[in-house]
Structure 1
Amino acid sequence: MQMGSDAMELILQSGLLEWNKQLFVFIALISTVYWLLSGFINERGKAKIQYKHRIYFLLGLLVFYVCWGSPLYGFAHLMFSAHMLQMSLLYFLVTPLLFSGIQIHLFYLPRRFQTMSKVWTALTSPIVSFVLFNGLFIVYHIPKVMDTIMLNSWLYYSFHILLAYASFCVWQTIVGRFSIKKLAYQKRKHYIMANTLVLLPVCLLLFFSTLPYRTFTDVTAQFNMFQICFDQNINVSILIGIDMLPTDVDQKLGGAIMLALHKMSFLVGEYIQPKITD
């Protein structure tokens, strides 16, 4: 196992620290189109997207790019703690920021189709979305499940898409700007408290567990994961066996990061929500 300065030298040689230029162009294009369209909607008076909400949306896109297009993406497949940082940013921070800047009726557009209306209404209800998101997030952190998902490209991307949707459903209840699915203030407080507490055992389990994840400790599993998650510009062969941190320290750090960002995300939600509902 390579650690310390030797590991960083190999990482530099591998190309892992390169930024994803194609994704940057795509995000920049989305940002430009969003900014122009949201301004047009304001001018026409069809809907109210305030300046601060537009900034929140762009900030969400920026953090999304950091998660998927910066060196963090590479480190998230080398270090368990970096993976937890990426996951926490994506589903605890990016989602509420993006949701704060979109029109709620766009999110509920499928309800206009009769065949999808009942299913969509059920999936976006506070209780179902709470169970769906937290259930998926908890199951994902079972070592056997995470290893299986990380080693199958179809499962990897499908699970992230499903988790992203479930995250949107949870956050629309907390920071939604309109009253379609909005809970009463006191119930909303209880909803936030429930979301805060439900993942606490998972964070503590990660912190105290000694059961390792194969995709971060087994060289064969690592190589297969690299083949799935990295493009051809990355020299994956020299990344095999790199340990930036001891396994137990890395896993404890991952649990601490997830716990801290999960709690912080609801403070962000509290900061955003009153300004979104004005």
Structure 2
Amino acid sequence: MSIDIFGFRALWSPYFLVSLILVLVGYVLLVSKFRHKFIHNEPVGIKQQALFITAIVLLYVIKGSPLDLLGHIMFSAHMTQMAFLYLVVPPLLIMGIPEWLWRSILHIPLIKGMFNVFTKPLFALITFNALFSFYHIPLVFDFVKTDMLLHAGYTTLLFISAIFMWFPLVNQLPERASLSGVKKIAYVFGSGILMTPACALIIFATDPLYSTYSDASAWLVAMELCVPASALSGLTLSGPEMFNGLPIMDDQQLGGVLMKIIQEIVLGVTLGYIFFAWYRKENGSNDEIDPVPSQIQTVK
């Protein structure tokens, strides 16, 4: 059966789309027309603007397109959402915001205090992965997925903690450079290790873990998070298998595998970015030293 039966609002989240368009308009105005209102307001290059725009477009695809609806039907789609929402969007957002705007944001006392505490590398790394693993405990997962406010609150908390986790790795502020090249590499490896238990729990489980994807009544309650009650009330639904061609266990294991694969790809790209940035920095330092002349002329 097609997911079109849930209606336009459930499929395309028009209110969320309008909100993100307003964010984009605000960003463009800040980095162009109102840039002169900030100190050290260097022009923002096209590449940096493209990073921010890409992050916002991805955010809409993840949380506003039919993928969000599929994420309530197929566990594999849900885990794909999680991977992009917490591993791809945050670093793009951080790198897409210019240094002078970051300094203005971090000048706000409350935000400055939060970043001073929560972006400490070890604390940020452990906090995000602890929240991520805790969320995927079956009892917690099903409870959160069936309460709209709790679900919105927890996923927002996870997203903010992902920002904190990525900030020490990819921010370009010299005064916030808390990790050297070697420490950044260790940080990336640590992230990969800490997320593995949650993925392994899902991949190697022998039974369905989550009622919100295997039990029809729990699933219908969870669907209320993304489908208007008026649309659901007019439908006769027996369970997610009406829209999912994969057996429950295959879908569950695929979700864990996709999460781990996407994580490894993202962390691999991040390692490459860190290594080459480190290499360029070291090479630049060497180039600053005056070379020894190849020939020394003696004045006779």
TM-score normalised by structure 1 residue count: 0.86
Structure 2 unmatched ranges of 5 or more: 282-300
Moved more, 198-207 or 129-138: 198-207
CA distance in 1, matches of 2:57, 2:124: 26
Moved more, 93-102 or 175-184: 175-184
1:130 to 1:206, Cα distance in 2 relative to 1, 3 A: same
Note if contact 2:86-2:159 (Cα within 8 Å) is conserved in structure 1.
Answer: yes
- Superposition deviation, residue 27 in structure 1: 1.7
Deviation digits for residues 212-259 of structure 1 (CA, Å, limit 9, x no counterpart)? 201111111111111233224643643441311211100110011100
CA distance in 1, matches of 2:198, 2:102: 30
1:270 to 1:31, Cα distance in 2 relative to 1, 3 A: farther
CA distance in 2, matches of 1:116, 1:72: 32
1:64 to 1:118, Cα distance in 2 relative to 1, 3 A: closer
- Superposition deviation, residue 23 in structure 1: 2.1
Specify which structure has the bigger relative contact order, considering alpha-carbon pairs within 8 angstroms and separated by 6 or more residues. Answer: 1
- Superposition deviation, residue 112 in structure 1: 4.7
Which residue is 1:91 aligned to?
Answer: 86
- Superposition deviation, residue 42 in structure 1: 5.7
Which residue is 2:265 aligned to?
Answer: 264
Correspondence for 2:192 among 187, 191, 196: 196
CA distance in 1, matches of 2:101, 2:270: 20
Look up the SS of the partner of 2:41 in the other structure: coil
CA distance in 2, matches of 1:194, 1:148: 29
Pairing 1:150-161 to 2, within 5 Å after superposition = 150-161=145-156
- Superposition deviation, residue 117 in structure 1: 5.4
Pairing 1:121-160 to 2, within 5 Å after superposition = 121-160=116-155
Which residue is 1:12 aligned to?
Answer: 4
Which residue is 1:241 aligned to?
Answer: 239
Correspondence for 1:229 among 216, 219, 226: 226
* Cα root mean square deviation, aligned: 2.6
Note if contact 2:95-2:172 (Cα within 8 Å) is conserved in structure 1.
Answer: yes
Instruction: State the AA in 1 paired with 2:206.
Output: T
Which residue is 2:253 aligned to?
Answer: 252
CA distance in 1, matches of 2:131, 2:43: 34
1:71 to 1:59, Cα distance in 2 relative to 1, 3 A: same
Structure 1 unmatched ranges of 5 or more: 1-7
